[in-house]
Amino acid sequence: MLKFNDISLRNKLILMQVFTSVVVFGIVFGVFIITDVNSYKQRKVDSMISLAQVLGTNSISPIQFQDPEAARKMLEELQTVAPEIIHAEITNKEGQLFASYSKTDADTFSMPRTSHGKSYSFTNDQLFVSNPIISSNEEIGKVYLEVQLTELQQIKQYKYELAFILLLVALVFSLLIAISVQGYLSTRLLKLVNAVRKIRKTGEITKAVEDKGKDEIATLIQAFNKMMEELQENQKKKDEFIGIASHELKTPLTSIKGYVEMLDMLEKENPKKQFVQKALANISKLERLVKDLLDVSKIQSGQLQLEMKEFNIDELLDETVNASQMVSETHRIERQGGPVNEMIYGDRQRIEQVLLNLLSNAIKYSPGEKTVILDTQKTENELIIKIIDYGIGVAPEERTNIFERFYRSKTLAVHISGFGLGLYICRDIINRHNGKIWVESTGKGSVFNFSLPLKHFSSIQQTEV
């Protein structure tokens, strides 16, 4: 069976409009027919009562003179005067039959007797009328008439047929109007539907759907266009990232492959070339890139878990400064500010990851400079760790963007390798420790700060998702 929901929008609109107009016209015609029939009946009653009055007046003397024959003759004239009357009776004061008339082909009399005054009643196709005969303010008898309403049946029949034809005409017209009006509404919606279909089919995000209206359909189309714009923007970002990712992953791979190949050929002849060390250095680079990618996907799926415990921050700071110094041949990394003498509650390994990331950024973005400083500053509630370099700095408009995922500086003229994921991961780790991370830059170099709470251990959630 066809469900209403399965019918196309276009047909639904047509159906609704046709249904509404047919119902409205049906009600209007119904009211007209009922009023017409009622006024016809009222007129009939009025004329029959006045006829009964005339008959009553004329039968006063036959009743008074006990001449039923005269009354009967008078009634027989009804055959020509009012042929729709099929029975007529006159009763005397006691209610006994005085004179009667029956149309030849009519059935036997079946009139209800009424007690007082004038009255009338309808059956399906008959009208009964009774009227008292008054002489000298005294009721001396009654006139009863039974009227066959053949004319009413004909009028009803005619009205029904007319109403039916008019309804058919209304149906055709409303159908025509509905078809032309729905075109306006459904064309706009169909435009949207076609755009969605095309995107699903080709995967290609097309141009915006054009619409000049201001109604709900226009709002829907605008929302759709906005969504498509955002989708396009995201698609672009993703494409850019894939481009960067494949370049960044292949670059160390190229070195590794080349050095290992050369090692294979020349190992015995030339042991001092350090090919293995170079290959290993590039393997670590690749490892870091892959680790960053995994961390980001963990952050996004909410699976990055912290292992929180108390640890000595001074030990960690010294360790990371030394580790960074080991890999940097170009920069001297200095710790300033003296020992903190505090225990920190947090994930030691993740904090170390943040420190190493910020230190390696400081080295990477200060080519030609010699010093990177790690400074600490203690307030009542928190410890602020600063990583200071004297390199290229961060443009003011980029200071919030650099913590976004896949963000890479648009203003740098030099190529700095990486995915643009490091700071995004750092921010996530620090936020999960209830700390903050921010950058200050005065043109010559930049200061990356992050804070860690010192005392309110209990407020830190153990494993945030």
Cβ neighbours of residue 71 closer than 8 Å, sequence gap 6 or more:
59, 62, 63, 90, 98, 99
* Closest by CA position to 213, among listed 224, 205, 204, 222: 222
Q: Residue 35: how many CB atoms within 10 A of its CB?
A: 10
CB closer to another protein out of 82 and 253:
253
Binding to another protein by residue 262, rule CB under 8 A?
yes
Least CB distance to another protein at residue 363 (A):
14
Least CB distance to another protein at residue 414 (A):
5
Binding to another protein by residue 284, rule CB under 8 A?
no
Binding to another protein by residue 1, rule CB under 8 A?
no
**Stretches 62-70, 93-101, 214-222, 265-273: which one binds another protein (CB under 8 A)?**
265-273
Q: Which of 102, 119, 148, 251 binds another protein (CB under 8 A)?
A: 251
Length of the chain: 465
Binding to another protein by residue 410, rule CB under 8 A?
no
CB closer to another protein out of 101 and 419:
419
Least CB distance to another protein at residue 282 (A):
6
Least CB distance to another protein at residue 367 (A):
11
Q: Which of 43, 113, 247, 455 binds another protein (CB under 8 A)?
A: 247
Within residues 434-463, the interface with another protein by CB under 8 A covers none
Least CB distance to another protein at residue 415 (A):
2
Q: Can you spell out the DSSP letters for 131-159? A: EEEEETTEEEEEEEEEEE-HHHHHHHHHH
**CA gap 334, 322 in Å, rounded:** 9
CB closer to another protein out of 353 and 360:
360
**CA gap 386, 272 in Å, rounded:** 40
Supply φ then ψ for residue 308, to 5 degrees.
-90, 130
Please identify which residue in the block is written with the tokens 């996907």. 297
Least CB distance to another protein at residue 397 (A):
19
**CA gap 460, 432 in Å, rounded:** 8
Binding to another protein by residue 414, rule CB under 8 A?
yes
Q: Residue 13: how many CB atoms within 10 A of its CB?
A: 20
Q: How far is CA 56 from the centre of its chain?
A: 78
Binding to another protein by residue 182, rule CB under 8 A?
no
Q: Residue 364: how many CB atoms within 10 A of its CB?
A: 17
Beta-sheet pairing, 371-378 with 332-335 = parallel
CB closer to another protein out of 43 and 236:
236
Least CB distance to another protein at residue 311 (A):
35
Least CB distance to another protein at residue 359 (A):
20
3-state secondary structure of 452: strand
What is the contact surface with another protein in residues (CB under 8 A)? 243, 246-247, 250-259, 261-262, 265-266, 273, 278, 281-282, 412-417
